């Protein structure tokens, strides 16, 4: 889902990429002879390679956090290689993964991708040139980003490009579902920090204030908890890299105060130490609420607010970027079908009109979910109007008033009243009556 974004790809790709000699690749294969064959191939490119046939050794090596890519040989959906991928997906952040399968199997193919692998190859028909090219592309591009060209997104695109070369603390502001997480990842992947960890703090998932502090500063050895991430603490993991704090308003205020100190003084104190440690990472925050209002209500740290409010990147809702709806939908169709081994259907005119006419309350996230649902159920070469299921919730009805819907319809049709009435599924007489009641000029364009 984080791939749904976003911006001017060519400009971002001008940043120089790490040379092969600075990369480290770990190969796991239960058959050591297969691993050695792969090691020989990659060593010739100048990439530093290590090979193991032991899952426990692979885990120990990966926990050192000095590898940028993992190549795993998988024999079936329950093999040790698959378990290593699953463990890595849950435990090690920011590492790219490639699967090498012994047999062609759709179930295996789908599971490897669900575990976060970027590519899957079949060993028996392996074309080494294609494998090395794919891995080179992963090192260069990291993710498959989508270029959004609507006028409403252009200002955001320019800021994203500028932030890639900045070290300043950044606040991404915008409603739920607009792609704040994806933007943060894009900025990291195209910054000088791209070879360092990208660590995500999902603040809405945390629990008590004490547990939240432990998650950021680390926990004493011997205490097990899945959110503690090897018990280091998020600040230690993100040191020299990027820490993305998603929906910061959910954090307890005393944790916000600690983050303010990290930004102001560039230090933090891990839970397991009594002395301060220098923090040289970058912190990117996100919010879907007005933090100034939270400060006035006593619900947000004034110190942290003053640290982050001066550098804000506002991400527009999808309703302000209507020209992106269909290109994004087509991008999601291709992405889903490629990941699931399906042929790519096209959208019919009726489906296009239905998508264009909908009010996307949950923004790009809702559009993505709608397309995935349609792709998983479609049969044939096209996705038609009836294949797309849209839900109008009570929140949508209350949040988007009649004035909003009429205004958006007129914006979309550039003031054409007949087309706007058709979009709203009313006649022109009713449209004019609604416009008069809502105080909208007859000449609105």
At 100 the pLDDT is: 82
Residue 106 has pLDDT above 90, yes or no: no
In whole angstroms, give the CA distance from residue 138 to residue 135.
5
pLDDT band at 5 (very low <50, low <70, confident <90, very high): very low
The pairing of strands 277-278 and 267-268 is antiparallel
**CATH number 3.40.309.10 given to 151-314:** no
Residue 22 pLDDT exceeds 70: no
Q: Domain limits of the chain?
A: 9-141, 151-314, 319-437
Mean pLDDT of 339-358: 85
Cα-flanking dihedrals φ and ψ of residue 425, to 5°? 60, 45
Share of the chain above pLDDT 70, in %: 77
Residue 352 to residue 330: CA distance in whole angstroms: 10
Report d(CA 356, CA 153) in Å as an integer.
17
Same CATH topology for 9-141 and 151-314: the answer is: yes
Q: What pLDDT, on the 0 to 100 scale, is given for residue 133?
A: 61
Q: What does R_g of the chain's alpha carbons equal in angstroms?
A: 24
C-alpha distance from residue 406 to each of 321, 390, 425 (Å): 17, 19, 11
Task: Give the model confidence (pLDDT) of 360-403 as tens digits.
Answer: 888 898 999 999 889 888 767 889 999 998 876 544 444 456 77
Long-range CB pairs of 346-351 (<8 Å, 24+ gap) are 346/381, 346/382, 346/383, 347/382, 347/383, 348/382, 348/383, 348/384, 348/385, 350/384, 350/385, 351/382, 351/383, 351/384, 351/385, 351/387, 351/388
State what percent of residues in the chain have pLDDT above 90. 24
The single residue listed with the structure tokens 């307890």 is: 252
- Average pLDDT value for residue range 267-292: 87
Domain 319-437, CATH number (from 2.60.40.1180, 1.10.3720.10, 3.40.50.300, 1.10.8.60): 1.10.8.60
Q: Which residues pair with 314 in a beta bridge?
A: 173
Task: Give the separation between CA 160 and CA 168, rounded to whole angstroms.
Answer: 13
- The answer to whether 139 and 132 are in contact (CB under 8 A) is no
pLDDT at 137 over 70: no
Question: Is 188's pLDDT higher than 80?
Answer: yes
Hunting for tokens 């090395």 — which residue is that?
A: 132
Confidence of residue 146 (pLDDT cuts 50, 70, 90): low
> What pTM was computed for the model?
0.61
Instruction: Check residue 257 and give its pLDDT.
Output: 93
Is the pLDDT reported for residue 229 higher than 50?
A: no
Rounded distance between C-alpha atoms, residue 215 and residue 208, angstroms: 11
Give me the residue label for tokens 């397991």.
Answer: 272
More confident residue, 366 or 213: 366
Fold designation for 9-141: Rossmann fold (3.40.50)
């Amino acid at each position: 889902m984080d791939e749904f974004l976003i911006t001017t790809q060519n400009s971002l790709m001008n940043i120089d990429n790490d040379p092969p000699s600075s990369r480290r690749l770990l190969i796991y294969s239960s058959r050591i002879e297969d691993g050695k064959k792969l090691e020989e191939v990659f060593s010739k490119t100048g990439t530093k390679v290590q090979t193991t046939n032991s899952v426990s050794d692979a885990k120990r090596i990966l926990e050192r956090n000095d590898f940028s890519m993992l190549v795993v040989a998988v024999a079936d959906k329950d093999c040790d290689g698959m378990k290593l991928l699953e463990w890595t997906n849950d435990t090690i952040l920011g590492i790219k993964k490639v699967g090498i399968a012994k047999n062609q199997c759709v179930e295996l193919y789908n599971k490897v991708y669900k575990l976060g692998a970027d590519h899957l190859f079949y060993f028996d028909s392996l074309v080494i040139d294609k494998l090395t090219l794919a891995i080179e592309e992963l090192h260069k591009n990291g993710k498959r980003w989508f270029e959004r060209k609507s006028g409403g997104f252009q200002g955001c695109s320019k800021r994203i490009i500028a932030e890639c070369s900045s070290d300043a603390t950044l606040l991404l502001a915008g409603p739920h579902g607009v792609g704040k997480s994806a933007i943060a990842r894009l900025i990291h992947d195209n910054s000088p920090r791209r070879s360092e960890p990208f660590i995500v703090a999902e603040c809405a998932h945390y629990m008590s204030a004490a547990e939240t502090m432990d998650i950021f500063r680390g926990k004493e050895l011997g205490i097990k908890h899945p959110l503690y991430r090897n018990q280091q603490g998020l600040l230690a993991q993100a040191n020299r890299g990027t820490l993305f704090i998603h929906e910061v308003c959910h954090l307890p205020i005393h944790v916000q105060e600690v983050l303010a100190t990290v930004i102001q003084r560039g230090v933090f104190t891990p839970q397991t130490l009594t002395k301060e440690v220098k923090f040289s990472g970058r912190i990117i925050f996100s919010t879907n609420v007005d933090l100034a209002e939270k400060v006035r209500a006593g619900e947000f740290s004034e110190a942290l607010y003053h640290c982050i409010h001066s550098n804000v990147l506002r991400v527009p809702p999808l309703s302000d970027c209507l020209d992106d709806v269909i290109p994004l939908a087509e991008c999601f169709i291709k992405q889903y079908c490629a990941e699931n081994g399906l042929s790519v259907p096209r959208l019919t005119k009726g489906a296009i009109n239905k998508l264009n006419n909908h009010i996307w309350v949950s923004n790009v996230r809702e559009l993505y979910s709608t397309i995935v649902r349609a792709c998983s159920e479609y049969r044939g070469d096209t996705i038609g109007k009836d294949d797309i299921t849209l839900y109008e919730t009570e929140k949508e009805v209350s949040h988007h008033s009649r004035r909003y819907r009429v205004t958006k319809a007129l914006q979309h049709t550039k003031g054409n009243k007949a087309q706007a009435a058709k979009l709203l599924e009313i006649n022109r007489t009713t449209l004019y009556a609604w416009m008069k009641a809502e105080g909208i000029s007859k000449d609105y364009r």
